[in-house]
Every structure is written in structure tokens, then in C-alpha cells.
A = this chain, B = another copy of it.
Amino acid sequence: MGEVVAGFGVPHSPHIPEQVKKQGPSHPVVPRYARVAEAIAAARPDVLLVFDCDHFSTFFLDNLPIFAVGVADRTAGPNDRTPMPRYEVPVHAALAAHLRSSGVEAGFDLALLQDFEVDHSIMVPLHFMTPGMTIPIIPIFINCFVPPLPSARRCYALGQAMRAAVESFAQPLRVAALASGSFSLEIGGPKVAPGRRQGVPDPAWVERAAGLMQGGKIEQLLDEATTERMLRAGNVSAELLTWIAALGVIGDRLPEPMQLQPAEGEVYGIWRWN
């Protein structure tokens, strides 16, 4: 019987590893990631379920799944030319296969991914938080970039199905969920900042969405986080769906006080109970 023991959420800007390399530990993201890293270490997970939006790196528009599960013994990355170290990371193939089978049985049409690498959206968080790369991961991909997107409610239900599958797994594994994504970010679209290639169009939505999580108001969050609303906060802001899926795994527990950077569109969250 597997057990979900904690949940986490972080952003994943691809520029940060290089910036931190230059600037050192005085860079402001260092303590933010460190705080989550400590919580991950304290939770002692055997496996990290990583909810992720691929950035056209693992998948392209030729064959683009809505949801996919990585089922393999290991993966590597980043595969998108992000300037940072290249890592190999183990994947828990047996639990991954069980999560996928259970999900398909529960009516989630989860693509099977067996031969793949992952991009900065997984590797940047691991680089800062688990650089030893000793905790096996299971990447669960959600299409957050190419409408039609899955609804917030469906992503939450997927998380719930994954939790049930963890609990029906034969081995007594400690499993934590990790969401990776921004709440407000525009890349290359009309809402970029003047003179920039990106922008943070909607800091108020960052506070709103994080506030609903902070208050445990999940139903309200699922109502408000429509595709339309998320895309008003920026064209890659539906990365929030990774957090919503992780919340499905976590259930109605409340997070520790969240670290909010509304001006950067970013949030760091820790759910711990065990």
C-alpha cells in the first residue's frame, strides 16, 4: 500500500540556473527553492510524482497528448538547450505502469511514454532541490500550452485518481507530488512587457489563485481557473493545471504559508502532514 505523504509546487524559469551560477547564493531564488528542498528531504519520499507541462521538448505538435505518463527505468535532461548541467534521473517504472493502468481503468486516457527525455520544467526544480538525483520520479504530463486544454476539474480528478492508484500499489512506498509551473507568464505573445520577450500580465491572479489554495478553497479554484481565465494571465499561465492536479493528489489539506512572488508570476508551496 503506497502512501501520499506530502505535496510541493515550484516555478521553473530556465534562466535561473545560469543566473544563480553567476550570482551565487545571494540570488533570491536560492532560499525559496531551499525551503521547499528542506521540506522534501523531511518528507523522505521514495518517489516524486512530477506534474509537468512540456514546452514542445518531449512532445511536438505532430503527436501531442492531453495527458501522458513516463514509464521507464530512467530519463534525462534537459532536452531543450537550457544552460544548466545535464542529469540522469531514475524513474519508478513499476509504480508508473500501475498509475497508468489504474488511470486508464478510471477513464483517463493516459498516453504511454517509454523513450523520452524531459525539459527544464522538470530539471530546473530537481537541479535546485534534489541535485543528487537519487529519488525516482514519475513524470505526468499535462497539455497546458495548446488549447483545447483539459479542464481544471479534470486535472484535479486525474490527481485524485493518481492518489487512489498510489494507495492500491502493492509496495509500501512514500510518495510526494511535485507541481512545476507559473501562475502568470506570457512568453512571446501580445502581453509581453515593452522591450521584452516575456511578461507577467496578471500579478493579481497569482495572489487570487494562491490565496484560494492557502484557504483550502479548492472548489472555488476549480470554478475560477477556466482556460479563458488562465490564458488572460498569460499564454503559459495554464501551468497552474500542474498545481491543480497535484492538489487532487494532496486532497483538502492546507499548505504551509506560501511564498508568493506576484510580480514574477511565481509561487512556492509546501503541503506536509506526515
Whose C-beta in chain B lies nearest to the C-beta of A65? B111
Q: Name 12 A/B residue pairs within 8 A (Cβ), A-sorted.
A: A61-B114, A62-B114, A63-B68, A63-B114, A64-B112, A104-B148, A104-B150, A105-B148, A105-B151, A107-B107, A107-B154, A109-B110
CB within 8 Å of B: which residues of A?
A: 59, 61-68, 100-101, 104-105, 107-116, 146-151, 154
- Chain B residues lying within 8 Å of A105, measured Cβ to Cβ, are 148, 151
| Copies, count | 2
* Residue among B108, B115, B154 making CB contact with A62, cutoff 8 Å: B115
Chain B contacts of A112 at CB under 8 A? Answer: 61, 63-64, 146
In the assembly, what is the distance between CA of A100 and CA of B147, in Å? 10
User: With a CB–CB cut-off of 8 A, which chain B residues contact A66?
Assistant: 104, 109-111
* Distance in Å: Cβ of A274 to nearest Cβ of chain B: 30
Q: Which residues of B contact A100 (CB under 8 A)?
A: 148
B109 touches A64 (CB 8 A): no
- A113 proximity list for chain B (CB < 8 A): 62-63
Whole-angstrom CA separation of A113 from B154 in the bound complex = 21
Cα separation A12 to B104 with both chains bound (whole Å): 27
**Contacting pair B111 A108 (CB below 8 A):** no
Residues from chain B with Cβ under 8 Å of A109 in the complex? 65-67, 108-110, 150, 154
Contacting residues, chain B, for A63 (C-beta < 8 A): 59, 63, 65, 68, 111-116
A112 to B104, CA, bound (A): 18
Tell whether, in the assembled complex, residue B150 and residue A116 are in contact, meaning their CB atoms are under 8 Å apart.
no
Interface-centre pick from A62, A65, A67, A101 (highest chain B CB count, 10 A): A65
Q: Chain B residues near A104: list those with CB within 8 A.
A: 66, 148-150
Apart from A59-B63, A107-B107: 13 A-B pairs, beta carbons within 8 A: A61-B114, A62-B115, A65-B65, A65-B109, A66-B104, A66-B109, A66-B111, A67-B109, A104-B148, A105-B151, A108-B109, A109-B109, A109-B154
